[in-house]
Amino acid sequence: MKTKQYRQCRLQRGNAVRVSWLPAQYAVEGRVLKLRDNDVWSNGWVVKDAYKESDRDVAPDTRRAVRKHRQASGDALPRRA
């Protein structure tokens, strides 16, 4: 399987800011993108900064990494009163 290059980018649309992993071909500072979030498309996201690259089969899933860390460290357990 061929790996794809991804870059972490800071995107801005109006006052909203988001950080996301994008395929390297779209991670060009100043480029305006259309993003999909929960099957809803939104126009006008501007790439403000493009950070480090990563060779991967899929974009890094930071939520999965945090969840696995919490499970391994015991932080995912319910708190006792």
Total domain count, the chain: 1
CA distances from 41 to 28, 35, 61, 63 (A): 20, 6, 20, 22
Residue 14: give the domain boundaries: 4-73
Residue 49 confidence (pLDDT): 93
80 domain-assigned: no
Residue 70 confidence (pLDDT): 78
- Cα 34 to its chain centre, rounded Å, is 14
Q: What is the pLDDT of residues 35-81, one digit of tens each?
A: 888 888 888 999 999 987 776 665 666 677 777 777 788 776 666 66
Question: What's the CA gap between 77 and 60, in Å, rounded?
Answer: 25
67 domain-assigned: yes
78 domain-assigned: no
User: What contacts 68, CB < 8 A, 6 or more positions away?
Assistant: none
79 domain-assigned: no
